[in-house]
Amino acid sequence: MNVRKDAIYSTLSIILFNGSRWFYNSFAARFLTASDFSLFSFVLTSSNLVLPLFTFGVNLGLIREVPILLKKGKGEILYIEQMFWGYIILISIAAFIFSLILSKFTKIGFSTFAIVITVSLVLSILVFIQSILKAFSLFLEEFKISLTFSFFMLAVIVLWFVSGTYCFEYAILFFLIPMLIATGYGIRKASHIQLFSFKPNFKVKPFVSNYLKYGSHEILVAIYTNSVSFLSFFILTSTEYAIFRKILLVSIPFTMISGSISQVFLNKFSVIYVTDRSSLKKFFRKTQKLYLLAGIIGYVIAICIFFPVSSLIKLEKQYLLLYSILSLSILFRFISSLYGIFLTTIGFQTLRVITVMIAALSSIFLLLILTPSLGLWGVVISYISSFFVILTIYFYFGELKVLRGSK
């Protein structure tokens, strides 16, 4: 088990995947009008909310359960992939029907809902393939998929710039092309190494029992990380919402990196938990120092890059204070994500679900109370509050109750 090598591949994969998306969003922020960028950002936020309904916990479930299943010699692994394809077809049909009904009662047209579902569907397949590769510790193969994605994402940015047509429709079209190409390449790569098995043998019970808890957790995580962005679209003006999304755009790559890197360590924590449980605490302490350092460095870098990036995406310098406060989510996320994977490893997944639920409800409550009177300040405070709530609860149970309480 080469943790350092896997972490390097995974980190590079994360940087390529999220970095290319960040450049694309920055390009959109610079050239789209405030109304088009607001709608484009709303579609991406909505897709992040819908995505867990498609993946349904397969992300955490595969990475957490596969090492244990391999150790115990169980055969449920082969059925995970089969159930995923069957489930995703059903949820897609249901999502389109629900969107058609919902469009009749909201100001958002069915075409926008259809775009959200399409983006979520493609992303879910890509996430599934990446999760399978991570679960089997094939981080190099995951890196190749991210490399393919980033190459074509940069290519469409150049193509979009050459076209000179900057509108919402083009923004969505060029966003989907690299995902489709990377997904096709990922399916080909996963089939080549024979991780997929298309046998007509379905076992519903293992899928539901093992992944219901992960699915509910991912849905709640999506709510607490995206609910403020989603709801503020209906509260703020198009100009205000565009400003908030630009502020978020500068800092969000760092928070995404913390969560993605944690998936590497979740795999390693699970292996250690099964093979050598006595060394789990020692491994956690080593990783804890790395996460704390990464969180601090990430926050400092985020502050330093504000001025050059704000010029790139046409964000006024007067929002530096708002950005500095919102960027605290980077430090909070790095620390809490480590405690989160530790709690998942030792069987405290239900606690994580409850914690994320509390964080989501608290941020939504603060958003509805503060935003009408404070505007952007209310949105930023409600956004950062959810990260602080999760960090507090995870630290209390993970550090004080388990790690120090076990002495």
Crossing angle (nearest 10°) for helices 34-55 and 77-102? 140
DSSP state of 196: -
Predicted pLDDT of residue 74: 47
Predicted pLDDT of residue 303: 87
Predicted pLDDT of residue 50: 75
Q: Measure the CA–CA gap between 261 and 323, rounded to whole angstroms.
A: 24
Predicted pLDDT of residue 140: 81
Per the CB < 8 A criterion, the answer to whether 30 and 312 are in contact is yes
Predicted pLDDT of residue 152: 94
Alpha-helical (H) ranges within 236-305 are: 238-275, 280-304
Q: Measure the CA–CA gap between 147 and 258, rounded to whole angstroms.
A: 19
Q: What backbone torsions phi and psi does residue 106 show, to the nearest 5 degrees?
A: -130, 170
Q: What pTM, to 2 d.p., does this model score?
A: 0.76
Q: Please report, in tens digits, the pLDDT of each residue of the chain (407 residues total).
A: 555 676 677 778 878 888 888 889 999 999 999 889 998 888 888 888 777 777 666 666 665 556 555 555 544 454 455 555 656 666 677 677 766 766 666 566 677 777 777 777 777 778 777 777 776 777 788 888 889 999 999 999 999 999 888 988 889 889 889 988 988 888 777 666 555 444 434 444 444 555 566 667 677 777 777 888 888 988 888 889 999 999 888 777 666 666 666 656 666 776 677 677 778 788 888 888 888 888 888 888 888 888 888 888 888 888 888 889 988 888 888 888 888 888 877 778 778 888 888 988 999 999 999 998 888 999 999 999 988 999 999 999 888 888 776 54
Instruction: Count CB-CB contacts under 10 A for residue 4.
Output: 7
Q: Measure the CA–CA gap between 60 and 64, rounded to whole angstroms.
A: 6
Contacts for 316 with CB less than 8 Å, ≥ 6 apart: 310
